[in-house]
Amino acid sequence: MKAEHYVGGVFRSDGPTFPLIAPADGTGLGEVPEATREVVDDAVTAARAALAGPWGRTSAEERAAALRRIADGVQARFEEFVDAEVADTGKPRELAATIDVPRAVGNFRAYADLLYGRPERAYTTQVPGWSGGSGQALNYSVRRPLGVVAVISPWNLPLLLLTWKVAPALAAGNAVVAKPSEETPSTATLLARVIAEAGLPDGVFNLVHGHGAGAAGEFLTAHPGVDAIAFTGESATGAAIMRNAADHVTPVSFELGGKNPALVFADADLDAAVEGTVRSSFTHSGQICLCTERVYVARPLYEEFVERLGARARALTGYGPMISAEHRDKVLSYYRLAREEGATVVAGGGTPEFGDARDGGYHVEPTVLTGLPETARTVREEIFGPVCHVAPFDTEDEALRLANDSPYGLAATVWTRDVSRAHRVAPRVEAGIVWVNCWNLRDLRTPFGGVKASGIGREGGEYSLDFFSEPVNVCIQI
Ligand code: NAD
């Protein structure tokens, strides 16, 4: 899949390029165009022009129909999308075919449904009556799109997280300029093809490729022509984007990093807790923002839990690589740091040897650590790899204190068979999402996001439509 910009309805790949490397085996996948400031300017101008055209006057029904055509288009090219996602990320094919691509289709369908389902909530509310003593008045409010929306997405779930923002942004009537991660340009380019085929007016969806700081990402998020920024990525990147956004008071929606805890209480179903933690720590080799990196286990279960989790981690096969050599080196540097900080390495801790082409790729071993103090950097900082640290606790209050002692607050998992405990503990965990006896079970209508350094705002269902549109009140004196 050749990566191209899509600007004002035209595919182009002018300007400098950079190489795309397959993380599964280190081979080259081709060259990616790096958007210059001029390309980004063109994209923002094209988006602004699209808003002034027919797209700016579409009805909710027309936009819902457009979203359905996009969903159908992605579905029709399902295998192409899976191939592209697997090539760029190295993730197991099964993951791309059961999560990434189906969810992208689901994102467009969900927002199409929402536009039909509750148009009165999303687009108009009427409040006739009171006018503060000066006769009668009719007030009504209309939700208006924000305008040109910049969407910046990461490499871990490239198509899923891009469409999670693009679908509601278009549903609400905005024009979009999207920049996917420089590591994963391919499914975004395919999406642009699908959107072109779906017949959206030129400039409604624009795509620029390139790097972040000092490059396309920064040109876009600092652009005075951008009316809102929806970003998913690292907390430090969010802070940098926020500084640029401050110059124009541009609204932001941020989904950022995490250091997610799991709490395993003494009354938990141990089999379920071990298997759940294998999934929550090692799915996509830990490269999901919701993955567990800190596990706190009630002391009576601690020894057996550690032994079983370690055995399961050592037995894992078929896992994918880190996204890049740079990210592999970062994860391995934390494995080294953990040892320096005094960790016991229960499982993993290095790089695997496969004896095949994968040895040219960027794999690291699923790793289980114990024995670190809570102050250790390995326990405090987001690693974003297949690794968790397991520590014991004695009381419910202590478990909550440990879980909440973090600058992050994205997701948490609670394992208990005590219904009262589940309801008591879940709301006290400082996180945007708390799963009880499960992990990553998602209903797309529910609020999704983080607290503390893990984000600003909520996505999902109407929460996304609320961000991507603003109510304008109209007051008419009768
Ligand atoms: P990243 O912050 O390095 O990059 C994300 C995107 O931002 C990329 O497109 C990048 O090019 C761009 N970017 C980088 N610097 C920029 C700048 N100064 N200005 C504008 N754009 C810039 O993140 P990543 O390494 O791609 O993704 C991993 C991170 O994303 C992890 O921290 C993970 O927890 C987080 N994440 C969070 C969620 C969530 O929903 N909360 C979901 C997935 C990933």
**Structure tokens, 474:** 């109209």
- Verify whether ligand 1 is closer than 6 Å to residue 179 (CB atom): yes
Look at residue 320 in the predicted model and tell me its pLDDT.
Answer: 98
* Nearest CA, atom 34, ligand 1: 257
- Verify whether ligand 1 is closer than 6 Å to residue 430 (CB atom): no
Alpha carbon 318 to chain centroid, angstroms: 24
Between CA 440 and CA 346, with CA 304 as vertex, the angle to 5 degrees is: 80
Look at residue 337 in the predicted model and tell me its pLDDT.
Answer: 98
C-alpha to C-alpha distance for 303 and 309, rounded to whole angstroms = 10
Main-chain phi, psi angles of 109, to 5 degrees: -65, -40
**For 85, what's the count of Cα atoms within 13 Å in the CB-facing half-sphere?**
32
**Structure tokens, 154:** 């990461």
Distance from the alpha carbon of residue 54 to the mean position of ligand 1, in angstroms = 33
**Residue with tokens 């790729």, as numbered in its chain:** 361
Distance from the alpha carbon of residue 162 to the mean position of ligand 1, in angstroms = 12
* Spatial contact of 446 and 438, defined as CB atoms under 8 Å apart: no
* Spatial contact of 452 and 409, defined as CB atoms under 8 Å apart: yes
**pLDDT tens digits along 173-197:** 999 999 999 999 999 999 999 999 9
pTM: 0.96
Among 384, 388, 393, smallest CA distance to 370 is for 388
**For 404, what's the count of Cα atoms within 13 Å in the CB-facing half-sphere?**
12
**Residue with tokens 């439509």, as numbered in its chain:** 465
Among 272, 446, 448, 284, smallest CA distance to 366 is for 284
Main-chain phi, psi angles of 152, to 5 degrees: -120, 125
Distance from the alpha carbon of residue 346 to the mean position of ligand 1, in angstroms = 30
C-alpha to C-alpha distance for 415 and 461, rounded to whole angstroms = 27
- Backbone dihedral region for residue 285 (phi beyond 0: left; psi -120 to 50: alpha; all else: beta): left
**pLDDT tens digits along 34-69:** 999 999 999 999 999 999 999 999 999 999 999 999
**Structure tokens, 464:** 């996304």
Among 164, 181, 170, smallest CA distance to 18 is for 181
Distance from the alpha carbon of residue 118 to the mean position of ligand 1, in angstroms = 32
Choose one of 160, 211, 237 to mutate for the ligand 1 pocket test, by most ligand atoms within 8 angstroms of C-beta.
237
Distance from the alpha carbon of residue 74 to the mean position of ligand 1, in angstroms = 24
Choose one of 152, 179, 221, 259 to mutate for the ligand 1 pocket test, by most ligand atoms within 8 angstroms of C-beta.
152
- Verify whether ligand 1 is closer than 6 Å to residue 68 (CB atom): no
Look at residue 142 in the predicted model and tell me its pLDDT.
Answer: 84
- Verify whether ligand 1 is closer than 6 Å to residue 214 (CB atom): no
Main-chain phi, psi angles of 245, to 5 degrees: -65, -30
- Verify whether ligand 1 is closer than 6 Å to residue 152 (CB atom): yes
Residue 437 burial by Cβ neighbours in a 10 Å radius (0-12, 13-18, 19+): middle
Domain ranges of the chain: 5-256+454-477, 260-443
Between CA 271 and CA 279, with CA 274 as vertex, the angle to 5 degrees is: 120
Q: Among residues 34, 85, 182, 289, which one is catalytic? A: 289
- Verify whether ligand 1 is closer than 6 Å to residue 312 (CB atom): no
* Nearest CA, atom 38, ligand 1: 289
**Structure tokens, 39:** 């390309």
- Verify whether ligand 1 is closer than 6 Å to residue 293 (CB atom): no
Between CA 251 and CA 258, with CA 253 as vertex, the angle to 5 degrees is: 145
**Residue type at position 54:** P
**Residue type at position 439:** W
Length of the chain: 478
What parts of the chain have a pLDDT lower than 70? Answer: 117-134
CATH topology of domain 5-256+454-477: Aldehyde Dehydrogenase; Chain A, domain 1 (3.40.605)
Q: Mark whether 289 is an active-site residue.
A: yes
Choose one of 232, 283, 330 to mutate for the ligand 1 pocket test, by most ligand atoms within 8 angstroms of C-beta.
232
- Verify whether ligand 1 is closer than 6 Å to residue 174 (CB atom): no
Among 192, 251, 248, 252, smallest CA distance to 223 is for 248
* Atom in ligand 1 nearest the alpha carbon of residue 214: 18
- Verify whether ligand 1 is closer than 6 Å to residue 432 (CB atom): no
Distance from the alpha carbon of residue 245 to the mean position of ligand 1, in angstroms = 16
Q: Mark whether 475 is an active-site residue.
A: no
**Structure tokens, 259:** 């250091």
CATH of domain 260-443: 3.40.309.10
- Verify whether ligand 1 is closer than 6 Å to residue 455 (CB atom): yes
